Structure 1
Amino acid sequence: MFNDRLYCADWTMLNDPMEGQFVYSHRSTDEVDRSAHLDDIRTEKKKVRICSLSSTYDSHLLWAHYADGFSGVAIEVDIPDNHPSLVKMEYGGVFTNVNFQDINVPRETARHIFASKYIDWSYEKEFRILHGEHFFELPNPVRRIIVGHRMNPSLFEALRIICERKDIEIYRTGIGDEGIDADSVPALGELW
């Protein structure tokens, strides 16, 4: 948030135990060809770092699982849909299906594998940044954050001061019969 960049983790550190796993079909009887292709895919997978994002802020499960039970924060970022590092997740079976006859470029095969997850994760409405570096520079500065309504008051006040100085809008979650909403928090000067 402060440096307008996002951290991209090593994919082996993500919480899905099936992350990066795949099954393949290959008609060739050439064992050397198949083995070399699998090695190339494994090599490309090692180069990928991931930042997981969601297209929504109003999921109870996301706040419970990833924002410490509404004590954390959601950071709204603006990344163009056509950015080469951004992929929309596809949800399906436990393993990503790879057909060597359809996907012959190991780098693209690795990207395909990391753009697929088991259907049980679909509530995340996930987009991913697939990147080769530790940090992804945001094309646009952060303009809004949404804090959980259970955030520690001291932390909330500190965050509000920082956001005001960086010209970032700050909102706070609320839960009602219609679900989760986010209300704008007044600037510090507006309180007096």
Structure 2
Amino acid sequence: MSYRNNTSWLEEYEELMFGPSHSEQTMSQAADIKYQYMPNMFFKYRSCSKNAFEALEQDFLFSSQPSKFNDIFEGAIEIVSEKAERNIYQKVYNSLKSTNRFLADRPTHSYHDLLENIAISFGGSYQDIKQNHPLFPLMETLGIEAKRRFNDTISSIQNNARNMYNICCFCATNDSETMWAYYADSHEGFCIGYDIKSLNNNLTHLTFPVLYKDHCTLQIDDIDHVDSSVCMHMLTEKSLAWRHEKEWRTFFPPNPPNHKESMPTAKAVYLGARILPESEECLKEICNRKQIRIYKMVPIISEYKLIAIPL
């Protein structure tokens, strides 16, 4: 079945892979479903550059840290459960207490609790001290600092999770006008086709579909247990605004940005409709030497469609 026309399988896949009852068995079932619907070819859109030509010739791609990606919501995660908030606020209060010894040992479940605990350490309630007390400015400063630390804790959780893996991004189609425009230098670049599915190895197993949503669905209960499964879920969920990319992602161990990852030799290369003659000749030379099929994209004006013509 075609990935382009059938996406309902993604709901079953997501439930088995990341649902609240996921296990090794359900994840194995999810992998079987994913493999069934995985495209036979994955496509990487490139601008023409020395690095891009070298990567094609030497069979590698650069992986990146997700925190460097251009989506501001990349790796979105929502802290909504009371358990998670209590956990964070207790950590924030303990952190404040470690540098402000006068603060009492007290359970802290919310921002209100935190302010009350600071006030009690000053000898009154928050409302009393707020009305007229010489120590109120200090209490207010501690409250502001607590809120900053709360937000920093959430940001730290997200950043750590975002950088648990390096990622290479692929598209399921080679004829996306927007992808050619954005990632292949307005059709002056090229597109590489990789056969990852038939390898049926680690590269295949660690390549996952992106799940497009109209709101963030990833919510966590325990900030101390943001494991690799949670991170993988975070990094394969994106806003509907990106669904035109039909993206799949291959996960690699964490490394510095722009890390070289070994890839199979490309099965095909597609030249952009506006590719410059010198770039076309360079790519033809590489493809002929490596016995890679080469095509050129041709716009069909009457249908607003790009088709690949063999060269």
TM class by shorter-chain length?
Answer: 0.7 to 0.9
Q: Is the contact made by 1:18 and 1:95 (CA closer than 8 Å) also made in structure 2?
A: no
TM-score scaled by length of structure 2: 0.53
**Structure 1 alignment gaps of length 5 or more:** 186-192
CA drift of 1:155 comes to 1.2
What is the DSSP-based 3-state SS (H/G/I as helix, E as strand, rest coil) of the residue aligned with 1:6? strand
What is the DSSP-based 3-state SS (H/G/I as helix, E as strand, rest coil) of the residue aligned with 1:2? helix
Q: Which has the larger radius of gyration?
A: 2
Q: Structure 1 residue aligned with 2:262, among 132, 137, 151?
A: 137
CA distance in 2, matches of 1:151, 1:121: 26
Q: Is the contact made by 1:73 and 1:145 (CA closer than 8 Å) also made in structure 2?
A: yes
CA distance in 2, matches of 1:12, 1:159: 32
Higher mean C-alpha deviation, range 61-70 or range 9-18 = 9-18
**Where does 1:38-187 land on structure 2 (aligned, <5 Å)?**
42-80=159-197, 83-100=204-221, 106-132=227-253, 133=255, 134-138=259-263, 140-176=264-300, 177-178=302-303, 179-185=305-311
CA drift of 1:42 comes to 4.3
CA RMSD of aligned residues (A): 2.6
CA distance in 1, matches of 2:307, 2:245: 17
Q: Deviations over 1:1-55 (max 9, x none)?
A: 22222211121221212112221332427425996x9666643432321211100
Q: Is the contact made by 1:21 and 1:95 (CA closer than 8 Å) also made in structure 2?
A: yes
Q: Is the contact made by 1:25 and 1:99 (CA closer than 8 Å) also made in structure 2?
A: yes
Q: Residue 21 in 1 paired to residue 76 in 2?
A: yes
The letter of the residue matching 1:69 is: S
The letter of the residue matching 1:181 is: I
TM-score scaled by length of structure 1: 0.83
Q: Is the contact made by 1:44 and 1:110 (CA closer than 8 Å) also made in structure 2?
A: yes
Identity %: 25
CA distance in 2, matches of 1:47, 1:135: 17
Larger strand share, 1 or 2: 1
CA distance in 1, matches of 2:68, 2:90: 27
The letter of the residue matching 2:185 is: D
**Structure 2 alignment gaps of length 5 or more:** 1-55, 92-152
Q: Cα gap change, 1:33/1:4 in structure 2, threshold over 3 Å: closer, same or farther? A: farther
CA drift of 1:72 comes to 0.5
Q: Is the contact made by 1:96 and 1:113 (CA closer than 8 Å) also made in structure 2?
A: no
